[in-house]
Structures are given as structure tokens and as C-alpha cells.
Amino acid sequence: MTLLAVERMKLVSTRSPWWCAALALLLTTGFAALMAATAVPEVPLTVASTQFGYRFGMTVVMVMAALAVTTEYRFGTIRASFLGSPGRTGTLVAKAAVVAVVALVLGELAGFGSWGIAKLVDPGADLALQTAYEWRAVAGVGLVYAAAAVLAVGVGAIVRHTAGAVSVLLIWSFLVEGLVQLVPRVGDDVFRWLPFNVADKFITGDPDPSARDVVYGPPPADAVLGPWPALAYFAGIAAVVLAAAVVAVNRRDA
């Protein structure tokens, strides 16, 4: 519990997490307002479209999580953190846990905030949360953000440099996964198992039968897993990356 309290104080005592939180909420709710303001009968506003900006918010959350580690390496405070606890593993796990909780809260604020803003901009839209798909599309954002934050902490601990860690996260999520589809024969099959595409399946894929067309929101993911197994798969990958970071941190000098 002491490690968790220390990591919480370190996280909230710096400006970057607050700026990242504000930016994540601004991006997600801003896109929701834009989707609501531009909705027409031919392209109606749906629960899915209110979450159009969730991927952009997740990117900012991952940057925040990576900074929680790389900033300590940059200023050398990581040495004091490791000296103040019996083992480095506990420090890194505590940091990941605290960041994951913050990401979970931000995700829920982003999901329900986007849904609420869209309803205010377009009061006549049918945005009732009735099916399991619609609840996942809104309330599930926090769960995906939490897993993504753990993954980003692991990447930050492995790379240790802010620019490098952020570059890896952004390039992989926005570029590499899409380019894999261009590989002849096997590209599409591999893409269906890539982590961020699988995470999208939990938010946008395999919806329950309803009259709302998800193509008017984030593109439906084509991952082979169902929604909840997809979330477990993404969280498992985040846990593996964090475990690799624990090994790396214990083997290298701070």
C-alpha cells in the first residue's frame, strides 16, 4: 500500500498527467460534439459514433502512462524509487496499477462524457443504452484505456526514453498495424490478431442486433475473438509487456 501511495503522489504532483487528462477528454468529447453537429438523416448519430474519438484519447492516455516512467529516468529519480523499496518489481507494478486506475477513470469520463455531449448537441438522436453492445461502446472505454496504460508503462520501462517510447506506441498503433494488411496472403490474417485491432473489437465489433449501423462510428474491428475474449487478449498482451519490462528493469542498471 505504501508503494501505491508513493506512486499516486508522484503521478498527481506533476503537470504532465493533468495536461494529458485534459487533452484526452477534450479530444474524445470534441469528436463526439462534431459527430453530433454534422449528423444528417442519411448518416444518423448513433451510440457508436459518439465514441468516434476514443482511439485518440487512448493515444494520449498511453503517452501519459509512458511519461510516468520515462520522466523518472530522465531526471534520475528512478534510482531513489528503486532504493526506497525492497525490489524493483514492486515499484514498477505499483506504478502500472496506479496509472491503470487513472486511465480507467479517464476512460469512463471520456466514454460517458462523449455520449452526454452528443446527446446535448443533438437531443433528438436515439442514444439510449439498451443493448450489451451499446453499453460496451460507452462503459467499455475505461477498461480498454486501463489495459493500454499498463502496456504503455511496460514500453516506457523497456525503452526508458520519452521520445522512443512515445514513438513506439504511436507508430505501432497508428501505422504498423495498418501496414500489416498490405503483406500479401497473410497480412489480413495477422492483422486480426494485432493488439489494438483486437481491442477495437471490444468497443466496436460484434454488436448485438439493433437498428443502429456501427459503420457510422469507429470502423468495426474484424478480429476473430468475441468482445470479452478480445478484451482479455489485449489485457494479456499488456501483462506480457509489463512482465518483460520487469525482467529488463531488474537486469539493467537504473
Res 98: pLDDT: 94
> Do 135 and 223 contact (CB within 8 A), yes or no?
no
Q: In this model, does residue 209 exceed pLDDT 50?
A: no
> Do 17 and 102 contact (CB within 8 A), yes or no?
yes
Confidence grade of residue 210 (pLDDT, cut at 50, 70, 90): very low
pLDDT digits (tens, 9 = 90+) for 123-152: 988 888 888 888 998 999 999 999 999 999
* % of residues, the chain, pLDDT over 90: 48
- Return the SS3 of 34: helix
What's the mean per-residue pLDDT of the chain?
A: 87
Q: Taking Cα atoms as reference points, which of 214, 173, 215 lies closest to residue 194?
A: 173
**58-72: average pLDDT:** 93
Confidence grade of residue 84 (pLDDT, cut at 50, 70, 90): low
Q: In this model, does residue 26 exceed pLDDT 70?
A: yes
- Return the SS3 of 254: coil
**66-88: average pLDDT:** 80
Q: In this model, does residue 6 exceed pLDDT 70?
A: yes
User: Which pTM value belongs to this model?
Assistant: 0.91
